[in-house]
Amino acid sequence: MCQLLGMNCASPTDFNFSFKGFKCRGGETDVHAHGWGLAIYEGRGVRTFHDPLPCAASPIADMVSSYPIKTLNMMAHIRYATQGAVSLENVHPFTREMWGIQWTFAHNGEVPKFTVPRNPQEENNSNNFCGGTTTDIPLLGKCMKAVYHPVGDTDSEAVFCAMLNALRAEFTTLPTLPVLYEAIQR
């Protein structure tokens, strides 16, 4: 399975030391060699870096690990592909805009309901993926029509899009955090 690194800080913090150790796990000291990604929140913006190369061998990861960025929130993901090809569009974290906020999502594990069929015969007989194509995703909550769609073919991105679609169907603007938390729990 994939591995995640996240930081949530009270004051802006440099994550370079932690990221340098994490970077080695991406293909050098561990098997997670199917790409990596990083999201760094800066105010209302998100700075993202993605690479389908192993993190330990990535020139982009080398640059990021020596670049002094301070942040309150960041997440990094090194991939061990179990769903979807080893490709840039399947590298986490995924980002979408909703309500004027950049939402970022990284996931570790498999979600069978959101698994994209792996071959045409499976696709024709599949009931677990809405419509049986990579452009359809299961709808959650009050959602009747998807606005957010996966770009790649991972179950993780499909889950992220389904969650955003469900929240967008229920709320027209950002609810309070307790209400949002309750909606996500459902």
The sign of the dihedral angle between the CA atoms of 18, 20, 24, 26 is: positive
CA distances from 113 to 64, 73, 129, 167, 183 (A): 35, 30, 6, 19, 20
Is the separation of the CB atoms in 147 and 134 below 8 Å?
no
d(CA 55, CA 37): 8
Orientation of helix 155-170 relative to helix 177-185, angle to 10°? 130
Q: Which of 2, 55, 143, 161 is catalytic?
A: 2
Contact present, 26 and 20 (Cβ < 8 Å):
no
Residue 24 annotated to the active site: no
Catalytic residue numbers read 2
